[in-house]
Structure 1
Amino acid sequence: MAETKTTPEGLTYEGIIVARANTIEQIAAPFRRGKDSPIIATLTVSSFDVDQLANILPSTGASFLMVDFHLEGVNIENVFKIRELADYPVCLIGLVEADSNKESVLEEAGLDKLYNIPLTPAIVHKMKRELPGEIHNTQSTWGKGAWNIAPDMIRKAAKQAGGAPWERHKIGVWSPKGGVGKTFLATELGVALSGIGGRSCVLVDANMNGGHVKLRLGFDNLDKQRSIVNAANIYRLEGGNSSNEAIKKALSEDIFLKVGGHGNLDLLAGVDSMIEAQHDALATEAGYQFAQDMMDHLRRHYEFVIVDLGSSTNVGVHRGVLIKLDTVLIIAEPGLTSINDSRTGANLLEQIGIPRDDIKLVINKWLPDVGLSLKAASASANLSIAGLIPFDASGNVTRAENEGISFVAKHAGSTKLPTHTQKTLDGIIDVASRFYPPIGFAWNQRKTEQGKKGFFKGWKKND
């Protein structure tokens, strides 16, 4: 997860602190030169001016911007605007008074780090321990993704989309029936958004009927203690009941599997069987509460949360996840029976409180000339279509699965692919670009540059 990063020892990082005049000295004091600190405050400012700070950052080489959110004029939009205008990999650190009405809002805002003020020795110690890794991560991942044609093309796409092309998102992949490709779509979305888009993502296997995400990614023989079962049990043993400390311990870095070797895609593995799903920590109300707190926590630490779900809405974990999602992708095959099942499923989701506008249809294994148009499929399901993924008759989807590697990871770096495989890739990228538009722009540009090596050249199998 994002909370623990590694960085070369001995490095120091210099930056800017922006805070109220009556608190700035107390905040900056532990980070003065000569304090044997890896974090050095080289400049302190007691007024907040977006344009001025955007100009200062690159000229000073500041690694971080630490901002007191109680200073007049400071809000989350303007803080992010500074980084956008500076076009510079600065780590954004928020400071907020404990138990203030701003704290809960900022926890969900997506800052790189957030700490309480006034600073205590324990908080200062935590900052000195955590921030070097966080700053190093910000710098090392700046402009990554999209086969290293970022950042220029990614920024161009962002500007074309009006300056705010995407937002952090919780995406669920669901269907009222099994065997239509839920795990396939959830897995490939996670790989596309992290590996091509360069965003921080977590894949959650919350299918209480028995999940297969770890099998699809080659983790089947690895540590079985790192799973949603163990996370839920830790949460229960630590008191549960929406305790912030309990969910932090349950979802510590050690519970996640690292996918592909690139560092920005984590996996929370699922249950191996329906018997495991009956564990006291996952069953009924306990699972319902854990799932909600899990989703809220992950939303604070990842830019994209992608969940593979089981079909029943009566299962506590499934329902707890569903009501926390921003978008539910119902996946179906291109036959009227499957499409009509999607309509029934969407009606069921509405009954548990999910707005119809938040439910989209993805058609998997699409074939031309099957007697069903996209317009007819949309009308039959009474859902807008988020994408279609053409059927890959070459068998490459199944081959990737049997090898324990993502289909996107295996083939996205190739410039010469069977037509069916290329179309299937295009379909997956089209769905991903609905949540992060720069991926689509970069993908289309990449296809025009024959011979350019793909981003996935260094993707590692999880063996």
Structure 2
Amino acid sequence: MSRFVLITPNADFENRLRQAVAGGLQGGVQTFLTNVLPAGPFDLFAQLNQERPEVLVLGPDVPMDEALRLATVLDVQAPDLTVLLVSEPDPAFILQAMRAGVRDILSPSADSDQMRVLLEHACQSFANRHRTEPFQQSDSGKGTVIGVFSPKGGVGKTTIATNLAVGLGKIAPMSVVIVDLDLQFGDVASGLYLNPAHTVTDAVSPAASQDTLVLKAFLTVHPSSIYALCAPVSPVEADFITPEQVTRLLEQLADEFQYVVVDTAPGLPEIGLAAMEACTDVVWVSAMDIPSVRGLRSGLDILRQLDIMPEGRHVVLNMADPKCGLSVQDVESTLGAPVDVSVPRSRAIAFSTNRGVPVLQEARKDPAVKGLNRLVERFSPNGRAKSPRKTHRRVVV
């Protein structure tokens, strides 16, 4: 599907915009290489080879008076469409454009990186206007709550969680939310390159816990068509969030979203245990080293004794490397459980983490991408239809 529509006779600008979209945004671009603008939304949508797009880019080299006229018509007749105008940033003209319904101004000389940032904001604007639309739910009326846990830190748990959320966003756009419950030192915001206006602190407030519409207003939209609820800015705020509040929060989100992905703090803190009890599935993450594997074994033993192990269990071996001295069989023997998904050590993942763009958000070919996609597939409608016995298969590193 083409999320973006561009009208311009300028082929060079079109190439730069396509590079911007290919650099980390989902969806494609449909271009009309002309300076003739449609009369209104009916004429525009009749020429498209799809359902309505999210963002319309006008220019460069289109008549500015015609562009402002079209923006005014679209603002009234198709207000959900985000309109961007390509023009030099003259203050007087910007004010005129905003009054016509243009959401933002893009410089004709902008490079692909600058374009990508502006297009991301445009997609967030589109998603915010659809924030109150009903979310798709499972047959039971509750969403799937997936907790990502690890007794040890440094195993790539947040990387797994953010990529899982982005991957599920492709299956169920705008029906996925990731919650950062590493309340003191959570990294979901940096992992998704977000600067959220609201955090978990706001989401567990009395107003939000009593009104789901208030809660939704505290979610941050990500360009990959998912929502995020990030950890508090200050670690001190974590002391004022209780397990009971976390339980209520996850219950609310499960009522509204098809998938709720929960990133947790290392170990098994009280908040983490409360989250686990609300989960339908748990993804256990271990690195391929003895301390990580033994730590996970100890954690599993404790949870079995406490009898709070969720029915859905998925063991992920992250940063797997056949040259590290351990094999998958060694890991499974120590854990007393099969490894379901193996994610090889990858420079692509390290690079994407530093950029704040999850590797599944981009069209990359990498062995680690295949491993992450296998994890996502376990939660797809087809993957969920398989019996639990068939979903546990030996993997090869």
- What range describes the TM-score normalised by the shorter chain of this pair? 0.5 to 0.7
Aligned equivalents of 2:228, 2:130: Cα separation in 1: 24
Residue of structure 1 equivalent to 2:336: 382
Counterpart CA distance in 2 for 1:312 and 1:354 is: 15
Aligned to 2:290: 336
Kindly tell me: are residues 365 and 301 of structure 1, through their superposed partners in 2, closer, same or farther at Cα, counting changes over 3 Å?
same
Q: Does 1:274 align with 2:228?
A: no
CA distance in 1 between partners of 2:276 and 2:235 (Å): 19
- Residue in structure 1 matched with residue 257 of structure 2 by the alignment: 302
Whole-Å separation in 2 of the counterparts to 1:332 and 1:295: 25
Separation in structure 2 between the aligned mates of residue 229 and residue 132 of structure 1, nearest angstrom: 20
Structure 1 pair 427–261 and aligned structure 2 pair: CA distance change class (3 A): closer
Q: Which residue of 1 aligns with 2:148?
A: 173
Distance change in 2, residues 1:356/1:319 (3 Å): closer
Q: Deviations over 1:57-79 (max 9, x none)?
A: xxxxxxxxxxxxxxxxxxxxxxx
Asked if 1:187 corresponds to 2:159, the answer is no
Instruction: Identify the residue that residue 377 of structure 2 maps to in structure 1.
Output: 433
Q: Which one-letter code corresponds to 1:248 in the other structure?
A: D
Q: How does 1:304-319 map to 2 (within 5 A)?
A: 304-315=259-270, 317-319=271-273
In structure 2, what is the equivalent of residue 253 of structure 1?
216
Query: Counterpart amino acid of 1:219?
Result: L
- Amino acid corresponding to residue 150 of structure 2 in structure 1: S
Deviation at 1:340, TM superposition (A): 1.0
Deviations, residues 253-273 of structure 1 (Å, cap 9, x unaligned): 2100001153xx110111234
Other-structure match for 1:407: 359
Asked whether the equivalents of residues 190 and 306 of structure 1 are also in contact (C-alpha less than 8 Å), the reply is yes
Q: Secondary structure at the match of 1:266?
A: strand
Q: 1:137-152 counterparts in 2 under 5 A?
A: none
Q: Assess, with a 3 A threshold, how the Cα gap between structure 1 residues 396 and 342 changes in structure 2: closer, same or farther.
A: same
| One-letter amino acid matched to 1:311 | P
Normalising by structure 1, report the TM-score.
0.50
Distance 1:229 1:371 in 2: 43
| Alignment: residue pair count | 252
Q: CA deviation at 1:376?
A: 2.6
Identical-residue share of aligned pairs (%): 22
1:397 paired to 2:349? yes
- Match of 1:276, SS state, is helix
Unaligned runs of 5+ in 2: 1-128, 385-397
Q: Decide whether aligned partners of structure 1 residues 356 and 230 sit closer, same or farther in structure 2, where only a CA change above 3 A counts.
A: closer
- Deviations for 1:54-110, whole angstroms, at most 9, x for unmatched residues? xxxxxxxxxxxxxxxxxxxxxxxxxxxxxxxxxxxxxxxxxxxxxxxxxxxxxxxxx
Aligned to 2:308: 354
The separation in 2 between residues aligned to 1:182 and 1:428, in whole angstroms, is: 12
Q: CA deviation at 1:354?
A: 1.8
Q: Does the 8 Å CA contact 1:346/1:359 hold for their aligned counterparts?
A: no
After superposition, the CA RMSD in angstroms is 2.9
Q: Judging changes above 3 Å, is the alpha-carbon distance between structure 1 residues 319 and 352 closer, same or farther for their aligned structure 2 residues?
A: same
Q: Could you give the per-residue CA deviations for residues 177-219 of structure 1, whole angstroms, max 9, x where no partner exists? A: 1111110000000000112554711100011231110111111
Does 172-181 or 383-392 show the bigger shift?
A: 383-392
Match of 2:178 in 1: 203
Residue 185 of structure 2 corresponds to residue 213 of structure 1: no
The one-letter amino acid paired with 1:349 is L
Q: Deviations over 1:369-424 (max 9, x none)?
A: 434332331221122323110111xx2222222222111112xx24xx4xxxx100
Inter-CA distance 258–343: structure 2 relative to 1 (3 Å threshold):
same
Does structure 1 retain, via aligned residues, the 8 Å contact 2:143–2:258? yes
Answer whether contact 2:203 2:209 (CA < 8 A) is retained. Answer: no
Aligned to 2:90: none
Conserved? CA contact 1:204–1:308, under 8 Å: yes
Q: Which runs of 5+ in 1 are unaligned?
A: 1-129, 139-163, 239-244, 441-463
Equivalent AA in structure 2 for residue 396 of structure 1: A
CA distance in 1, matches of 2:199, 2:314: 28
SS at match of 1:341: helix
Name the SS for the 1:385 alignment partner: coil
Contact persistence 1:196–1:439 (CA under 8 A): no
Conserved 8 A contact 2:279-2:310: no
C-alpha distance 386-261 of structure 1, shift in aligned 2 (>3 A): closer
Change over 3 Å in CA distance of 1:291–1:184 after alignment to 2: same
- One-letter code aligned to 1:431: L
Q: Structure 1: how far apart are the matches of 2:368 and 2:316?
A: 13
CA shift at 1:252, angstroms?
A: 2.2
Task: Work out the CA distance in 2 between the residues paired with 1:387 and 1:206.
Answer: 23
What is aligned with 1:345? 299
Letter in 1 for 2:175: S
Is the Cα contact below 8 Å between 2:281 and 2:310 reproduced in 1?
no
Contact kept, 8 Å, 1:190 with 1:201, in 2: the verdict is: yes
- Are 2:334 and 1:373 aligned? no
Q: Deviations over 1:108-148 (max 9, x none)?
A: xxxxxxxxxxxxxxxxxxxxxx999748x88xxxxxxxxxx
Q: Distance in 2 between matches of 1:182 and 1:295?
A: 19
Matched residues in 1 for 2:131 and 2:264: separation?
A: 36
Distance (whole Å) between structure 2 residues aligned to residue 435 and residue 182 of structure 1 = 17
- 1:231 aligned to 2:203? yes
Letter in 2 for 1:178: G
